[in-house]
Amino acid sequence: MKTPISSRGIATRAVHAGERLPREDFVPMSTPIYSSASFLYDRLEEIDAISAGTRTGFTYGRHHNPTNAALEQAVASLEGGGAACTYASGMSAILLGLLAAGVEQGTRVAASQDLYGVTMKFLLDVAVRWGVEVEFVDLFDAAAVDRLFGDRPPRALLLESLSNPLLRIPDLPLLLSGCRERGVRTVLDNTFATPLLLRPLELGADFVVHSATKYLGGHGDLTGGVLVFRTEFEQEVRHFSRLVGAVLGPFEAWLTLRGLKTLPLRLERQCQNAEEIAGWLAQHPRVERVIYPALRDHPDHERCKKLFAGGRAGSVVTLMLRGAAMADVFRFINALELFLKATSLGDLQSLVLYPAISSHRDLAPKHRERLGIPDNLVRLSMGIEDTEDLKADLAQALEK
227 half-sphere exposure, CB direction, 13 A CA radius: 33
- Dihedral of CA atoms 79, 85, 86, 88 in degrees, nearest 10, equals -130
Check if the beta carbon of residue 35 is closer than 8 Å to that of residue 258: no
Let me know if 45 is exposed, middle or buried by CB neighbors in 10 A (0-12, 13-18, 19+).
exposed
Annotated active-site residue in 114, 168, 189, 347: 189
Alpha-carbon distance of 391 to 396, in angstroms, equals: 9
Q: What are phi and psi of 290, to 5 degrees?
A: -120, 130
Let me know if 77 is exposed, middle or buried by CB neighbors in 10 A (0-12, 13-18, 19+).
buried
Question: What are the percentages of helix, strand and coil residues in the chain, rounded to 5?
Answer: 40, 15, 45
Verify whether residue 214 is a known catalytic residue.
yes
Partnered with residue 320 across adjacent β-strands are 289, 377
Beta strands in 161-306 (DSSP E): 185-189, 207-211, 225-229, 287-291
Region of residue 192 (left: phi > 0; alpha: psi -120 to 50; beta: else): alpha
Annotated active-site residue in 214, 261, 266, 379: 214
Check if the beta carbon of residue 147 is closer than 8 Å to that of residue 178: no
Question: Which residue type is seen at 367?
Answer: H
Annotated active-site residue in 34, 116, 292, 354: 116
Annotated active-site residue in 8, 62, 238, 258: 62
Q: Residue 108: count other Cβ atoms within 10 Å of its Cβ.
A: 15
Verify whether residue 215 is a known catalytic residue.
no
Check if the beta carbon of residue 238 is closer than 8 Å to that of residue 220: no
Contacts of residue 74, Cβ cutoff 8 Å, sequence gap at least 6: 13, 14, 17, 18, 19, 257, 260
Kindly calculate the radius of gyration of the chain based on its CA atoms and give it in whole angstroms: 22
Verify whether residue 116 is a known catalytic residue.
yes
Verify whether residue 34 is a known catalytic residue.
no
Which active-site residues does the annotation give?
62, 116, 189, 214
